[in-house]
Amino acid sequence: MSAPAPPPVGPGPGAVIEEITALGPFFALEAHGPAEPASSAAGGPGWQPVSAPLLADRVTAVRRWLADAGGQPAEAVELRVAASVAHLGLAARLVSPALAAAVLFGRPLLFTLSQVRWQPVLGGPAPLSLPTGALGEPRPGAESLAGLLATGLVSGALEELASCFERFGVSRHILRGNTASAVNGAAVTLGRTRPQHASRTSVFAASLLASPPLDGESATDAAGVFRRRSCCLIYRAAPGAQGALCGDCALR
């Protein structure tokens, strides 16, 4: 009698990262080792930790960009508006690859905010690098994996990120609404890009949105339309605070 065949081996971390990166700029990521200095993480120049000074610079740059778009001086855009917009973009960068790893490969992608390396450039999603050990082994149950993401990522790095932005005058309610919006946006993009996994994507996203601290920050109506229960404030960046509302805004 021949020996039973060994269980199939899933793709290695490099292949997982490559496939996730192929999903688009909000999913793209590189990896860096624990001993690599911030300036050379992921083998490229300009990689930095997510520090308070860099986040302040980011808010200032986003404020200037929003003001220029409306033909206004930077002071015309409230600091909290720029901070909320900056936070939403970074939250989307952190949650998107983690959701993709869970949905496509059944693997947790977990990290602390201090382990993240990024390039704080404007003009698109910021380049992102995560530690090589952030990608865990495959988990057999979707429910346990979703719970792990809820406690390890949503209540972990994403709450850490929200805490960094509170000092700019943005309420935690708005920041958690931003995180919920980022989760939904990542799920929508992933479901469209990999339609064969749309149902699994929806299950993971719904689980994260129903878990603390995001429970109660959003709702889905009878037509299946996602709506957050706060506003990211970007409409206030337009002259006279008369900008358009986002599709998932509570003010709609």
**What is the 8-class DSSP label of residue 135?**
B
Residue 92 confidence (pLDDT) above 90: yes
Integer Cα distance of 205 and 200 in angstroms: 9
Which alpha helices (H) appear in 46-126, and where do they start and end?
Answer: 52-69, 79-105
Which comes out higher in pLDDT, residue 207 or 38?
A: 207
What does each C-alpha distance from 44 to 37, 114, 118 come to in angstroms? Answer: 11, 18, 11
**Arithmetic mean of pLDDT over the chain:** 91
Q: What is the pLDDT of residue 8?
A: 43
Task: Say whether the peptide bond before residue 140 is cis (omega within 30 degrees of 0).
Answer: no
Confidence band for 38, pLDDT divided at 50, 70 and 90: low
The average pLDDT across 3-14 equals 61
Confidence band for 37, pLDDT divided at 50, 70 and 90: low
User: Who's near 86: CB < 8 A, 6+ residues apart?
Assistant: 55, 58, 59, 62, 165
Which comes out higher in pLDDT, residue 139 or 178?
A: 178
Integer Cα distance of 80 and 114 in angstroms: 23
Q: Give residue-wise pLDDT tens across range 183-208.
A: 999 999 999 999 999 999 999 999 99
Q: Give residue-wise pLDDT tens across range 62-80.
A: 999 999 999 999 999 999 9
How many beta carbons lie within 10 A of that of residue 205, not counting itself? 25
C-beta separation of 226 from 218 below 8 A: yes
C-beta separation of 79 from 168 below 8 A: yes
